[in-house]
Amino acid sequence: MTTAASPLLNRLLVGALGALFIGVLSPSSAVLAQQGPPTPPPEYGPMSISMEDVEYPYPVDYMPLRRYGKDLRMAYMDVEPVGVPNGKTVVLLHGLNFFGEYWGGTMEVLSEEGFRVIAIDQIGFGRSSKPILPYSLVQHAANTRELLEHLDVSQAAIVGHSFGGMLATRFALIYPEITTHLALVNQIGMTDQRLSRGWRDTEEVYQGNLARDYDAIRANIERYYVEWRPEFERHVEIHYGWIRSSDWPRLARIRASNIQAIYTEPVVYDWPLIEARTLVIGGEEDGPNFPELAETVAESVPNAELVLFPDVGHNPHLEAPDIFHPELVRFLETDPMPGFGGGRDH
């Protein structure tokens, strides 16, 4: 087991992941030039920040929540096994620039393999409520736990992509008695950014988000992929539609608050304390240092393995599902660590 004082973890504490105004990741070295239309297609109109005009792959349900004196609702998809049920539940956590809808293909695969699958829109994302609140990883984790209690789920594998990987890490730390497995898919936040750059005022981050335009949005989405395909275009259309919505200032503030959580709540110190069996998985082409950082994560978590895919970018479940899903299923079908379920004194 690696401790927080080890040289290995000290390697983790250098560098940063890049521009937060248009996204959270450093550009993929594989994306060298814009690959889509240079100007917005005329059919790209305003889109609701509540996603009513985006089709979800499965029925969406809602759980009521009360936070900071506000009545909210949390959206989620809950899919029962299509194949022979194996008695296991998987929870899918989305990234900062996405929402539960993009897990559709993963949900189908896991359901066919016998898993119950729950994909969540965190508060502030997708079809969930979008209040102006001080967002945090801890609060997102608590909301996720409340949803699982609402659904009578006492144990689950937690799979988090990108920003959702940070959230999954924090969830596994706080709720080890729930987390049978932890899968970190191209997780961000793999350094403590407080050691490499100064604090940005939230208003400054908000103004940067507010100023997003078509070129910035397209560059931000295209850099997630090594090979651009037409089906990826919908996320450009959605993000561009948001900035044309009258509600964009609200969503821009919510994004700014969540971006700040990446800075204020580093998860690098959580990794040595994770008890769950863990998979660090993703596409190698996710910035020049991603393979090295991912290797350090896998070495820092006591019960982790590393699987990286060459010539794949930030979204392997969308870009390379044929190689990503078998590895995820293989991992999720393993047994929890010996002694799982005893929990930790809280």
Provide the pLDDT for residue 339.
85
The pTM score is: 0.91
Domains and CATH numbers, the chain: 7-332 (3.40.50.1820)
Tell whether the model's pLDDT for residue 288 goes beyond 90.
no
Provide the pLDDT for residue 342.
56
**How does pLDDT run across 92-151, given as a tens digit for each residue?**
999 999 999 999 999 999 999 999 999 999 999 999 999 999 999 999 999 999 999 999
d(CA 275, CA 176): 7
**Mean pLDDT of the region 213-224:** 96
**How does pLDDT run across 190-204, given as a tens digit for each residue?**
999 999 999 999 999
